[in-house]
Every structure is written in structure tokens, then in C-alpha cells.
Structure 1
């Protein structure tokens, strides 16, 4: 059977830590009680540890892949435009030489 757990932020003062833990303990007893709720867990790596909320969702994955791809494509575009500009400059120079000959 899985059980949800909570790790509070570590405060310097022991009393603050105790207050935070007490707050969440009261929340679980009063608000959640015996009501069913969704937990997230990794069945293969750590089946006994569960989370109430996901720390990362699909938007994080989108940003992790979107920005590197956009950066790469902008870099490729800059290289292609540089090559095209150089090619056009060479052709323009050749046309100039032909006209002056």
C-alpha cells in the first residue's frame, strides 16, 4: 500500500519547521481525511514513494525541447543566409567584371 508523505522546507528555527508540519498534518486530517485523491508515483523505481502534485508537467517538457530546437533552427538560418549572401556577392562581382570587359 502506498502512503503520501510530505517533506517540509528546512527552516533555521525548529519552531517554524514544527508549525509547517503541524499545518500540513491538520490539513490532511481535516480537509482530505478518508476522501480519495490522486497521487503520482513511479511504479518501477520507487513504488512506495508517492507525490500529491507533479513538480513538472507537459509544459516543462515542451520548453525543454522547444527552445533548443528554435535556437538550433535560428543558427542554421543565419548560416544559410550568410552562405546565400556570399554567393550573391560573388555572382554580382562576376557580373560587374563581365560588364566592364
Structure 2
């Protein structure tokens, strides 16, 4: 009887171990499938994140290129680099200047605006220079301090020029930019692209490039930590 009972207990224990082994295998299979589903779900998201980062970096590089041939080039080519104080010596409306405006398809008409000439002394040096609004005005006119946008209403342009003349009469001292090498006889009231404009124009592509690079670094770091975790799990087994 003892041997029979022992045999039965051994058989029952073997069946129990076998059941636990089968159950453990099922659990391992389920765990493997869950991990596989997780990895499969993560890969498309990681790919999209990397593509987003690359697109942001590429767009920032293109923005750098556009800014390099526009803003940075104009900023570097400008010779009016030093800032000083200009004292207005003379402000006179000399003559009426002709300009043309678009009145439709293949239609151009002529309008007029007064030419205001302003002469100043930079930093009270006694050197007399002609004042111009900015680099574009200097290129467009060799005499007038400001060239308004041409329009049909000539009285509106006349009012703009007269307002500038009155302000210069009230404010005899105005900040201006001059050429330190004294190769240019004109001085500028404002610059198209100064330090602040250049910094602000470079801010957005720099932020875009940095965010795109961070996205790629974070995805690669996540993938590395995932592989490291899998290797540690294999070693423990």
C-alpha cells in the first residue's frame, strides 16, 4: 500500500510540474508577443519622429541659406557700421521728383513728390554730410533724404515729406550711422539690417535646428536604452 501511494504521489507531482511548465511557457509566449507588439507599435512612431527631426533640420538649413544671401549679405556689405549723433544743419525742399506707379495691367502713370535734402554734422566734427533714410533710399536717390512709395495721390506723398521735415526741425540732433572709413559722404538715419534684426532673423532657424536635433537624439537614446534592457534581460535568464 505504501509503494502504491508513493507511486501515485510521484505521478501527481509530475503532472503538476508538467502543468506549471506548460503554464510558464504560455506566459513566456504571451510576454514575448506583448513585447513584440510593443516594439512593432513603437517603430512607426520612432520613424515618424526621426523624419520630423530631419525635416526640421533641413528646413532650418534652407532658412539659413536664404538669410545668408539676403539679410546677412546686406548686413555685411553695408559700410555704415558706426553709430553717432547727427546735428541737422540744413533741411530744404529743392524740387519735385517724378515717380511711376502701377495703375493696372501694363499701365504705368507718373506722379510727383517733393525732394527733401538734409545736411548734417556727425558728432559735431564739422564734417558736413548728406542724410539719407537707409541703404535703399541711398540706392534709389542721390539727393533726397526719403523716397516715398509712389502713388496716385501726390498730396499724400507731399504730406509725408513735410512731416519728416518738421520732425527734423524740431529734433535737431538725431542718431545716425556713418562710414568710419569716410569713403561715403552720406550718413543713414536707420539701417535696413542692424544687429537686432540679424539676431532675430537667426533665432527661428536656430530654434528649429536645435529642436530637430533633440528629437533625433531622444529617439536614438530611447532605442539604445531599449536594446540595453533586452541584453540585460537575456543575461539574467
Name structure 2 gaps, 5 residues minimum: 1-127, 132-144
Equivalence for 1:61? 198
Instruction: Give, in angstroms, the shift of residue 85 of structure 1.
Output: 0.7
Equivalence for 1:40? 177
CA shift digits 1:14-67 (9 cap, x unpaired): 221122222323333x414xx343321345697133222344443323223333
Count of equivalent residues: 97
CA distance in structure 2 between the partners assigned to 1:18 and 1:3 by the alignment: 21
User: Which of the numbers 136, 147, 153 marks the counterpart of 1:7?
Assistant: 147
Equivalence for 1:22? 162
* Paired residue secondary structure (1:37): strand
> Structure 1 27/84 Cα, relative in aligned 2: closer, same or farther at 3 Å?
closer
Equivalence for 2:213? 76
> Structure 1 46/7 Cα, relative in aligned 2: closer, same or farther at 3 Å?
farther
Higher strand residue share: 2
Equivalence for 1:51? 188
> Structure 1 46/74 Cα, relative in aligned 2: closer, same or farther at 3 Å?
farther
Q: Give me the CA root mean square deviation.
A: 2.8
Q: What's the TM-score once normalised by structure 2's chain length?
A: 0.34
Equivalence for 2:227? 90
> Structure 1 43/10 Cα, relative in aligned 2: closer, same or farther at 3 Å?
farther
CA shift digits 1:55-81 (9 cap, x unpaired): 444332322333333322222221211
